[in-house]
Amino acid sequence: MGDTTDFKSMGLYRNVDRIMADLEAMGKGGDEELNVDDLTSFDQYHYEGTEAVDDAIGYLAPGPGSTILDLGSGLGGPARYLADRTGASVTALEIQQDLNATAADLTRRCGLAELVNHVNGDMLAGAAGVDAYDGIVSMLCVLHIPDRATLFARCADALRPGGRMFIDDYVALGPLTDAETADLADKVYCPYVPDLDTYISDVSAAGFTDIETVDKTADWKAFVADRLAAFRNARPNLEQRYGSATVDGLDDFYSTVANLFTGGHLGGLRLTARIN
Ligand SMILES: C[S@@+](CC[C@H](N)C(=O)[O-])C[C@H]1O[C@@H](n2cnc3c(N)ncnc32)[C@H](O)[C@@H]1O
């Protein structure tokens, strides 16, 4: 895998094995067996947790024998939940090696290694292959990838005819201030946020049809504010659990995101589409 050091400018992606300290605090340390539901409060790096994955399941309608690509799978939370609830086979594609390794270990401990295959690779480099999937789910990953032409072409290639795609992502509601642009680039590793029309036309240019969108801005604004408040409440405990450098990085990340949504220029987008 290429160099992904730049991702570590974002506090969420540092010390990713802190989830092991969370499990230890729950009495599930070491190599103890896990259930998917033991992990869901720690392993979902997008907004609205497993509710959002339930929405993806509703749209993609996977079942045993279906093949789903989780694009930008992080710690593997959405991939494991989707496989566990539907019996589908999931390829969890993740560009950061440390996240991928931790994710694969958690999946093994959940007894899901037959259904969830963790791959350390870059979607832009063709890591998902061609004609391989019935569906793609991608939660808060596209925001890291400015080359939308290549990205959505790879998504179209990866799907079989009739395949469906479910994306949760950022969208610009209006011009971002210089400070917002800098925060997105420097602290969220998000160098590019298109407006809705540009987003849809990039997806359409790759051959997708039946493009539908939902404005998630209000829901996510509330979610990220609550996440920050809960984090600050738990801060003294978390300092003991993770150490103060990791907690400072997370605080900076969670507060930056909450401020961005409060600013009114950054929005939340759910997009679904199909390939013929
Ligand atoms: C905010 S995290 C979300 C993780 C997961 N989808 C979830 O909801 O828990 C986005 C992930 O996308 C990954 N990612 C970014 N660009 C990628 C690429 N080109 N190929 C594969 N993964 C990528 C990042 O490393 C990061 O782990």
pLDDT tens digits along 130-182: 999 999 999 999 999 999 999 999 999 999 999 999 999 999 999 999 999 99
Q: Could you tell me if the CB of 82 is within 6 A of ligand 1?
A: no
Say if residue 208's pLDDT is above 70: yes
Torsion of CA 86, 87, 93, 97, to 10 degrees: 110
Residue 58 dihedral angles phi and psi, to the nearest 5°: -60, -40
Burial 105-114 (b: 16+ CB within 10 A, else e): bbbebbebee
Q: Could you tell me if the CB of 53 is within 6 A of ligand 1?
A: no
Say if residue 1's pLDDT is above 80: no
Q: Are 96 and 7 in contact (CB under 8 A)?
A: yes
243 Cα–ligand 1 center, Å: 25
Q: What is the pLDDT of residue 59?
A: 98
From CA 24, how far away is CA 19, in angstroms rounded? 9
Q: Could you tell me if the CB of 189 is within 6 A of ligand 1?
A: no
Say if residue 100's pLDDT is above 90: yes
Q: Could you tell me if the CB of 11 is within 6 A of ligand 1?
A: no
Q: Are 13 and 132 in contact (CB under 8 A)?
A: no
Q: Are 193 and 172 in contact (CB under 8 A)?
A: yes
User: Residue 236's domain spans which residues?
Assistant: 5-275
Residue 136 dihedral angles phi and psi, to the nearest 5°: -125, 135
Q: SS3 helix, strand, coil % of the chain, rounded to 5?
A: 50, 20, 30
Which two tokens mark 133? 């999937």
Q: Could you tell me if the CB of 137 is within 6 A of ligand 1?
A: no
Q: CA-based diameter of the chain, in Å?
A: 52
For strands 208-215 and 133-139, give the pairing: unpaired
Residue 96 dihedral angles phi and psi, to the nearest 5°: -90, 125
180 Cα–ligand 1 center, Å: 21
Q: What is the pLDDT of residue 17?
A: 87
Residues 6+ apart with CB under 8 A from 228: 254, 255, 257, 258
Number of structural domains in the chain: 1
Query: Residue type at 28?
Result: K
From CA 164, how far away is CA 156, in angstroms rounded? 9
Token pair 């950061």: residue: 96
Average confidence (pLDDT) over 103-119: 98
Say if residue 127's pLDDT is above 90: yes
Sign for the pseudo-dihedral over CA of 70, 71, 74, 78: negative
41 Cα–ligand 1 center, Å: 18
**What is the domain-level CATH number for residue 165?**
3.40.50.150
Say if residue 25's pLDDT is above 80: yes
Say if residue 93's pLDDT is above 90: yes
Say if residue 20's pLDDT is above 80: yes
101 Cα–ligand 1 center, Å: 14
Q: What is the pTM of this model?
A: 0.97
Torsion of CA 136, 41, 51, 268, to 10 degrees: -70
From CA 14, how far away is CA 92, in angstroms rounded? 20
Q: What is the pLDDT of residue 89?
A: 98
Q: What is the pLDDT of residue 3?
A: 82
**Tens digits of per-residue pLDDT, 210-236?**
999 999 999 999 999 999 999 999 999
> Which residue, among 114, 68, 122, has the nearest Cα to 91 in the 3D structure?
68
**Neighbouring-strand partners of residue 138:** 167
Q: Could you tell me if the CB of 77 is within 6 A of ligand 1?
A: yes
Q: Could you tell me if the CB of 93 is within 6 A of ligand 1?
A: yes
